[in-house]
Structure 1
Amino acid sequence: MAQTTSNHTQTVSGWAAHDSSGKITPYTFKRRENGPDDVTIEILYCGICHTDIHYAKNEWGITMYPVVPGHEMTGVITKVGNNVKKFKIGDKVGVGCIAATCLNCEFCKDSQENYCENLQFSYNGIFWDGSITYGGYSKMFVSDQRYVVHIPESLPMDAAAPLLCAGITVFTPMKDLGLIDSPGKKVGVVGLGGLGHIAVKFAKAFGHHVTVISTSASKEQEAKKRLGADEFIVSKDSQQMQSNKRTLDFIMDTVSAQHCIGPILELLKVNGTLSIVGAPEKPIQLPSFPLIFGKRTVKGSIIGGIQETQQMMDLCGKYNITCDIEVVKPHEINHAMERLIQNDVRYRFVIDIAQNKPNSNV
């Protein structure tokens, strides 16, 4: 059973998986009281990430049942602690993957909390008080203010929710490569799913020439007409891959299925960079020749620090960037997860936690 403390006095309704079947059912549990550095959030929406399925089914062997998934939360603050200065009651806010870090290491001090060795996630983590964290598939959340971001007033709360994970995951490598303020690069995006579609939107907003690389030729019109991609390469077409060798400055690989990145590397110019943000279950096949003969770099990236998450949100407000979503009710979570496994969604599911009316302004 999940560990709680005497400070956990608030009864919360949510939805949890109780075993490796991964089935999500209603679950009532306790959250801690709002501390001096905390804010309490009424959750309105929560995105469904593929990570939620991995944890619900214990596919990584680390799930602590019962598990309440959800790390793409948007909502409204209902209570603030005495030390809270950045937020007030009524603010529209979001909480992503991070629930706690050590606060003292070089990464925490440099606003890179996401690389803290003591990082604890919003669910299935161990909080400072020893309790197990429960995520956003619930009516309410208590968070240390450090891990909360403002949601711009111009952004709808439902379509903004996946930005807390999917959005920041693809934003951070673009920032690291200086792509936010240096337009005119040739950017490739491998995969047109939950991560890939928002990567295309970011790259276009930042002024780059965007090429989508996909195994599915049927996605070309979607990529170009709906998302604004400039070019489309079918990765299974050897002629297309060959004719586009050494044409891209930067490639982001968002695919979590097993695949060889050798042919993808050949699409990079000399000194080009491939950033891996997808997480295949098996080791990636990385041939050495495309690296050696192209002086290319392969790097990885995971979410982002809170400061850059806020920067991303502000830019999304500026450019009106949101995720393409399908909203589901809590009783539809299991069906949505089954569809997600089959890649049957364009492009992210979001749970209407508060059961808002269709024409709600939140």
Structure 2
Amino acid sequence: MEKVRKIIHVDMDAFYASVEQMDNPELIGKPVAVGGNKERGVVAAASYEARKYGVRSAMSGKIAALKCPQLIFVKPRFDRYKEISMKIREIFYDFTDLVEPLSLDEAFLDVTENKVNNPSATLIATAIRKRIKEEVGLNASAGISYNKFLAKTASDINKPNGQAVILPKDAEAFLERLPIEKFFGIGKVTADKMKEIGIHNGSDLKQFSLQYLTKKFGKSGLHFYNIVRGIHLSEVQPNRIRKSLSAENTFEKDLATHDDWVRALEQVFDELLKRIKRSGIKGRTLTLKIKYHDFTIQTRSKTFDQYPEQDKMWETVIELLDQDTLNAPVRLFGIGLSNLNVEEERLHFGKQLHIDFGTGAES
């Protein structure tokens, strides 16, 4: 009989903002935004006090300030966040070597076999969270299950500073009740598309055949078909090397003018820069991705001899934009880096730092 895997997803609570509050006690209990300001820029993270007012990561600083007039903006300190992340990761490695970082503030751990010889993944998660609190001073949440998808989903259930477990016998019933937008990997655009065809929760999703989902959602159709049945075979992979780093944004309304395109690209570029700073990655190939109103996709790329600086990257984005006529209107822009420096600089103990597409949101 095959042994059931035991996966933990550890997710730091409002990580950047919590670090700022820890380092500056005057900020404790107050609404804090990391990044941006009242006039411009983008919020990289928001404290839970700020979230009560509707402030979220990837929101413009101007809108955040309108939602919460007493909001305190602080400048991001990515070196400090990396330093704290290292301490947390060292704690993970005391329990298992099978650690797959997703970003500075979250990771998957496979504790099926572990260094503390504890058969309970739930007790291990409790011990990890206790040590993070005692040794680092921050709160973490955790999800425990038999695959990565369910562990990631479980870590959101009792946030902040809590944990939840989804057992194999409970998985399908739990997923049937789960709102479709709560499924890890289903963003707002896909969730809205699903709701248009009557998919509001897992039970609705389960009614559609694999053939239909594949036709409707392409390669993702198989993923959606499997995850609602509790099937996710991806293993915790501690040694993968990142091939690219990207950011993209789908617009609420299609954009038809050059000025609109440049403004939209500025936002995507700002997000990419955040991810570059967060990960320490550099790349020699810059790619502009364009999705048109009819869902056709075009990519334009340029490769440099050396790793380009920020100004050169932005100049190249505009150069690629103007390289040829766009089939207006445009519904999505993406900017990506490839030919990365990860072969020269193994990221944090040689482990992958995986960052999702899109603006995302810090937990």
Do the structures match in fold with TM over 0.5? no
TM-score normalised by L of structure 1: 0.25
Structure with more of its chain in strand, by fraction: 1
Structure with more of its chain in helix, by fraction: 2
TM-score normalised by L of structure 2: 0.25
